[in-house]
Amino acid sequence: MAADEAAIRTLDLGKRYGTSTALASLTMIVPRGQVFGFLGPNGSGKTTTVKLLLGLAAPTGGEAWVLGMPAGHRQTRRRVGYLPELFRYQAWLCAREVLALHCRLAELPRPSWPEEIDAALATVGLADRGTDRVATFSKGMQQRLGLAVALLGDPELVVLDEPTSALDPVGRHDTRTIIRELRDRGCAVFLNSHLLSEVEQVCDRVAVISRGRMIASGTIEELLGGDTVRLRLGGVDARVRAALERHGIRGEEDGWISVGGVDRESVPDLVAEVVSAGARVYAVEPAHQSLEDRFLALLQSENG
C-alpha cells in the first residue's frame, strides 16, 4: 500500500534520546476506514510513536507519512483529530468556549463554528452542558469534552490515547459507538488503550510493541490464531504430545492441556487424532482466547 493510500504508513521509524532507544525500526500501515489498535505496556514506545506521527517530535531514523504527507505537515494536521491521554482545559471556560478555542486553533471557517460545536457536543452526549464551566465537569465528562475536541472539523484520521480510561460503562459504550461511526464514514482511528476488552470489540487490526519494537501485528483473528481448546487427557505419551504439538500447545495447568488455533468445527478432528494416538479423553472445553490473554503471552515470550 502506497503512502498516499494509507492513513498512516511508517518505514523503519525510530527515535533515540541520547543512548536510550524509545522506538526502533517501526514499520506499519494503518489503512483508511479502519480502527487500528496500538498496544503495549507502559514504556513500550506508544506515546513516542504518537508524538512522531503528529509532528510533536522529530525522528532520529526512518520515515512516516500521515494521510499521504510527511508526518507533521501543517496542512495534514488540520485533517487529524487528537485526544491525548493527559489533558486539561481551562476550568473557567464553558464547554462551548473550549470548542470555539479549538475551532480557532484548527483555523476552521468562523461561520461553521456553531454547527461544528453543536454536532460535537451532541455526539459525545454533552448537548445540554455546553454552557457549563469545565470546573463543574466530572472526570468522565471532561473525557467526553476531549473527545468532542478531537471530532471538530470532520477529521480523516482520529488519534485516541486512552479514550475510555475515565469513563463509566455507559461512557465506554458511547465511545465505542462513536468509534464505529467514524470508521463507517471512512475515517481511520488510531487507538491506544490499556482496556484490551474495549480494543477487541472495536478494532479491525492491532499491533503490539514492546521495548520500542513491534512484536506482533494483524487482524484480531490473526493475532488470536483461532480459539483455544482445553483437554483433560489420560495416557499422554510422546505420540499424544506430538499430535497436540502439531496444533500448538499453549499451556498446561491442573491436568488440563490448552491447544490453540482450533476452530469449533475442527474440535472433533482434534479429539479423534489424540484418541488415535492412544490418549483417553475425559473432558473437552472449547474456550475463546481473549486479546488480553494473547497480549500477555506475547509479552512473556518476548521478555523470556
Least confident of 27-36, 61-70, 149-158, 286-295: 286-295
pLDDT tens digits, residue range 108-166? 999 999 999 999 999 999 999 999 999 999 988 999 999 999 999 999 999 998 887 77
| DSSP tag of 289 | P
pLDDT score, position 1: 54
pLDDT score, position 226: 65
Least confident of 51-65, 98-112, 124-138, 261-275: 261-275
Q: Do the domains at 3-222 and 226-288 have one common CATH topology?
A: no
DSSP 3-state assignment of 271? helix
How far is C-alpha 11 from the geometric centre of its chain's CA atoms? Answer: 20
- Spatial distance between the Cα atoms of 44 and 211, rounded to a whole number of angstroms: 5
Q: Return the CATH fold of 3-222.
A: Rossmann fold (3.40.50)
pLDDT tens digits, residue range 56-90? 999 999 999 999 999 988 888 889 999 988 788 99
Tell me the domain boundaries of the chain: 3-222, 226-288
pLDDT score, position 4: 63
Q: Which of 172, 185, 124 is nearest to 151 (CA)?
A: 124
- Spatial distance between the Cα atoms of 163 and 144, rounded to a whole number of angstroms: 9
Largest CA distance in the chain: 77
pLDDT tens digits, residue range 190-233? 998 877 888 888 999 999 998 889 988 888 877 876 667 888 99
Q: How many CB atoms lie within 10 A of CB 90?
A: 12
Kindly report the length of the chain. 304
Whether the pLDDT of residue 273 is over 70: the answer is yes
- Within the chain, strands assigned E span 6-17, 20-31, 35-39, 61-66, 69-70, 80-83, 157-161, 188-192, 205-210, 213-219, 228-234, 249-253, 256-259, 280-287
What's the average model confidence in pLDDT over 1-20? 85
Q: Which of 126, 134, 128 is nearest to 97 (CA)?
A: 134
pLDDT score, position 290: 76
SS3 content of the chain, % helix, strand, coil (to 5): 40, 30, 30
pLDDT score, position 304: 58
In which band, very low, low, confident or very high, does the pLDDT at 248 lie, cut at 50, 70 and 90?
Answer: confident
Q: How many CB atoms lie within 10 A of CB 222?
A: 12
- % of the chain at pLDDT higher than 90: 51
In which band, very low, low, confident or very high, does the pLDDT at 97 lie, cut at 50, 70 and 90?
Answer: very high
Q: Which CATH number fits domain 226-288: 3.20.20.70, 1.10.287.3240, 3.40.50.2000, 3.30.70.240?
A: 3.30.70.240
Euclidean distance between the first and final Cα of the chain, in Å?
A: 34
pLDDT score, position 198: 82
C-alpha cell at 288: 475463546
